[in-house]
């Protein structure tokens, strides 16, 4: 059961402006360990020097923070997908009633990193794909893990990879990641952007998200880059 933002702040004594804006998440039940998984057996080449992928995997702070350290990623923006434009606001999305998921729009160079490689990183270190409508300490449909596909090719590659991982039984439970057609992506409020990099000592970040970045460096050294690609001012 989730505590209210006020209760969470009171519980840890964080009477700060950031907490007042709703930037505190419970740290109970930290993220699970990363999982070593095979690369997708099926991938697809993307024409051009730039493409986008939209993933949801729980709180967008950690998902954004992971992909900002991937070579070939040009930008990673925290935001909302799955709902309407007029409800794409943090306080409304937090109700779990908008249809939105906290998501990250990843702009990448397909000549450096492929869509399939991004999926592998997502399923290995950025989220736990077996958790339905929650990730670690965060519960609600807004924290569901989802792939918002933009083409039949993306859908087919993602579906084939989920089937491949389930068949290999690399997880103790079936994958519940949803495949949802992307209607629109809405960038989140500025105070959510680059949150991991700007707040490395924030308790939620320390417990739940920095281990993901460390796992990326350890498990994917070929695509690891030390300096993150930051959003800055939208």
Report yes or no: 60 and 187 within 8 Å, Cβ to Cβ.
no
Q: Phi and psi (nearest 5°) for 69?
A: -105, 15
Taking the C-alpha atoms of residue 57 and residue 76, their distance in angstroms, rounded to an integer, is: 14
Helical H segments across the chain, by residue range = 5-12, 17-20, 60-67, 90-93, 115-121, 152-167, 195-198, 203-204, 210-219
Q: Write out the two tokens for 3.
A: 């505590």
Q: How far is CA 101 from CA 47, 151, 184, in A?
A: 28, 19, 12
**Catalytic pick among 9, 23, 37, 59:** 59
Closest residue by Cα to residue 217 from 25, 99, 68? 68
Q: Is 59 designated active site?
A: yes
Report yes or no: 141 and 101 within 8 Å, Cβ to Cβ.
yes
Which active-site residues does the annotation give? 59
């Amino acid at each position: 059961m989730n505590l209210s933002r006020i209760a969470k702040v009171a519980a840890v004594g964080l009477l700060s402006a950031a907490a007042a804006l709703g930037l505190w998440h419970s740290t109970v039940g930290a993220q699970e360990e990363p999982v070593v998984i095979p690369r997708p057996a099926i991938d697809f080449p993307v024409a051009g020097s730039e493409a986008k992928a939209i993933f949801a995997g729980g709180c967008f702070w950690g998902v954004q923070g992971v992909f900002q350290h991937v070579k070939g990623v040009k930008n990673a923006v925290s935001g909302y997908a799955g709902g309407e434009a007029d409800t794409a606001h943090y306080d409304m999305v937090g109700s779990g009633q908008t249809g939105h998921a906290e998501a990250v729009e990843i702009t990448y160079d397909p000549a450096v990193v492929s869509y399939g490689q991004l999926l592998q990183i997502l399923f290995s270190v950025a989220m736990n794909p077996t958790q339905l409508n929650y990730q670690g300490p965060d519960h609600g449909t807004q924290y569901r893990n989802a792939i918002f596909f933009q083409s039949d090719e993306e859908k087919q590659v993602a579906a084939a990879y989920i089937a491949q991982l389930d068949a290999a039984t690399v997880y103790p439970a079936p994958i519940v990641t949803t495949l949802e057609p992307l209607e629109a992506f809405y960038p989140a409020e500025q105070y959510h952007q680059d949150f991991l990099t700007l707040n490395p000592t924030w308790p939620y970040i320390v417990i739940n998200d920095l281990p993901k970045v460390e796992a990326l460096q350890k498990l994917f050294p070929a695509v690891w880059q030390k300096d993150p690609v930051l959003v800055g001012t939208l």
